[in-house]
Amino acid sequence: MATIKKKALVIGAGTGGYPCAIRLGQLGVDAMLVEKDKPGGVCLNWGCIPSKALISATKLYHKAQHVKDMGLSFGAAAVDMPQMQVWKAGIVKKLTGGVQTLVKGAGTQYVKATAEFLDAHRVRLTYSDGKPEDIVEAEHIVIATGSLPIEIPGFKYDHKRVLDSTSALDLAEVPKRMVCVGGGIIGLELGQTFQRLGTQLIVLEGLPRILNGVDAECAEVVARQIKKDGGQIHTGAKALGWEERGGEAVVKAEVGGKVQEFPCDVILVAVGRRPVTQGFGLDKTGVKVSQRGFIEVDNRLQTSAPGVYAVGDVVGQPMLAHKASHEGEVVAEVIAGRKTINDARQIPNVVFTEPEIASSGLTVEEAEAKGLKTNIGKFPFAISGRAMAIGETSGFVKVVTDAKDDRVLGVHIVGPEASDLINEAALAIEMGAFAEDIALTIHPHPTLGEAVMEAAKHALGEAIHIGNTRKPH
């Protein structure tokens, strides 16, 4: 058993760990990145990337069936699910392969092994190929172990009938009926993916509405689309369990005080994720963990144990890949001795539903809870020339400003390409911009981005292409 000494050790090569390792190498820190499974973590292998690949493919399929008004016809569209899976896997392979190359290119050592803490600064590495174990002694250790899907009583994952997000992405056939337990981001992204291929979707959500935490008006647009495409949404629903009956799965749920049954082919359970903080000796480090299992960190991502840091899903919400990557880079700079803190004003969030939802900053409710008076500007895609031209007119852009000085507090978009349109809003909030800054920025025509400009003008009472509810300055 050899002892390896490093300045820094990063545990986990997901979207928090590998950017940290790359940045450490760039900064000249002698570092090692250890990963027990595949580089890229959940996002690249079993989450963000493969799901968006399937989402893109199924959106194209769905659109091809609804373009007769444009004068287009493609004959009978068909789905080859095995080929779609091959295509998805190819994208994943390219990206994950690039992770190791980037890490090594930056000068950081990449090791495939299972890591276990012996104490706050010593970690044992166990190799799957039978190679003798090593001990790594590091001045700084970064925990980037990610999260796992939550399993609920009565719905043990068997990855045949009862699916988590990973096994749902690997389906070789399109199910005729799917019950989705959970009306959050992951459940609806995947549920609508299969709905576009012809699956009858039934959503069981325990809360009063779907997509809790997302702007309520934006969530309602998605709800309408699910129902328009033949799906069902049951809110205030408590899933009780399921049984095999007559060659199908029958889900029992309490809805409105009554027990109902929902026959289906597969059950997708998507009720959230839990941090991975067990099974690798974290209790030997002195690192404090919250009641919900998340690692507690300060604004430099340092834990209660000196020299031990944590990034990504293990430190709590929002559990987003881009948030994890930013934190990983911050930690690298902290370790390198730079005066860096994690002080992002906003973290944009994207929901790849149909239509897409993207948000940055505060909702109206959040702003008011902080004691702020707000002005709201809205511009619907229904009157956007570009949205009409591409045949995607559902949704709107909503700009929330501080009534005191018109500073942009939040932007919420539901509609085509919301995932890209939100970047302008994120930059505006990060820079402390005012609605006027967006309004006076000339946007090219005809584009979807004009809707952001028009919504900012509407918040000021200066909109040109929609009636103003506020008197202009």
Spell out the alpha helix ranges (H) of 316-417: 321-335, 364-369, 385-390
Query: Which residue shows structure tokens 């584009």?
Result: 447
Strands (E), 246-346: 248-255, 258-264, 266-269, 273-275, 308-310
Residue 78's pLDDT is 86
Same structural domain for residues 135 and 176? no
Same structural domain for residues 106 and 200? no
CATH number of the domain that residue 436 is part of: 3.30.390.30
| Number of other CB atoms surrounding residue 132 within 10 Å | 9
Question: Vertex 341, ends 338 and 346: CA angle to 5°?
Answer: 140
Q: How far apart are CA 38 and CA 33, in angstroms?
A: 12
pTM over 0.85: yes
What lies within 8 Å, CB to CB, of 458 at 6+ separation is 377, 378, 379, 399, 466, 468, 469, 470
Nearest to 52 by CA among 193, 172, 171: 193
Residue 74's pLDDT is 80
Same structural domain for residues 44 and 107? yes
Question: What is the tally of structural domains in the chain?
Answer: 3
Same structural domain for residues 221 and 313? no
Residue 472's pLDDT is 65
Whether 128 is in a domain gets the answer yes
Residue 77's pLDDT is 78
Which residue among 445, 458, 465, 473 is the active-site one? Answer: 445
Same structural domain for residues 134 and 11? yes
Q: Tell me the HSE value of 161 on the side-chain side, using a 13 A CA sphere.
A: 15
Whether 322 sits among the annotated catalytic residues: the reply is no
The one-letter amino acid at 14: G
Q: How far apart are CA 359 and CA 185, in angstroms?
A: 13
Cβ–Cβ < 8 Å for 28, 336: yes
| Number of other CB atoms surrounding residue 7 within 10 Å | 15
Q: What is the pLDDT along the chain (473 residues), one digit of tens a residue?
A: 799 999 999 999 999 999 999 999 999 999 999 999 988 988 888 889 999 999 999 999 988 888 888 898 887 778 999 999 999 999 998 888 889 999 999 999 999 999 999 999 999 999 988 889 999 999 999 999 999 999 999 999 999 999 999 999 999 999 999 999 999 999 999 999 999 999 999 999 999 999 999 999 999 999 999 999 999 999 999 999 999 999 999 999 999 999 999 999 999 999 999 999 999 999 999 999 998 999 999 999 999 999 999 999 999 999 999 999 999 999 999 999 999 999 988 999 999 999 999 999 999 999 999 999 999 999 999 999 999 999 999 999 999 999 999 999 999 999 999 999 999 999 999 999 999 999 999 999 999 999 999 999 999 999 999 988 877 66
Whether 157 is in a domain gets the answer no
Whether 349 is in a domain gets the answer no
Whether 8 is in a domain gets the answer yes
Same structural domain for residues 248 and 100? no
Domain end (from 218, 247, 271): 271
Residue 314's pLDDT is 97
Terminal CA-CA length for the chain: 74
CATH number of the domain that residue 109 is part of: 3.50.50.60
Residue 140's pLDDT is 98
Residue 247's pLDDT is 92
Structural domain harbouring 394: 355-460
Q: How far apart are CA 47 and CA 165, in angstroms?
A: 7
Same structural domain for residues 124 and 63? yes
Whether 473 is in a domain gets the answer no
Count of H-run helices and E-run strands, the chain: 13, 22
Same structural domain for residues 89 and 38? yes
In three-state secondary structure terms, 34 is: strand
Same structural domain for residues 359 and 418? yes
- Phi/psi region, residue 55 (left: phi>0; alpha: psi -120 to 50; beta: rest), is alpha
Same structural domain for residues 446 and 319? no
Whether 415 is in a domain gets the answer yes
Whether 469 is in a domain gets the answer no
Residue 473's pLDDT is 61
Nearest to 123 by CA among 233, 3, 208: 3
Same structural domain for residues 72 and 191? no
Whether 470 is in a domain gets the answer no
Domain end (from 271, 290, 322): 271
Domain end (from 303, 335, 367): 335
Same structural domain for residues 254 and 285? no
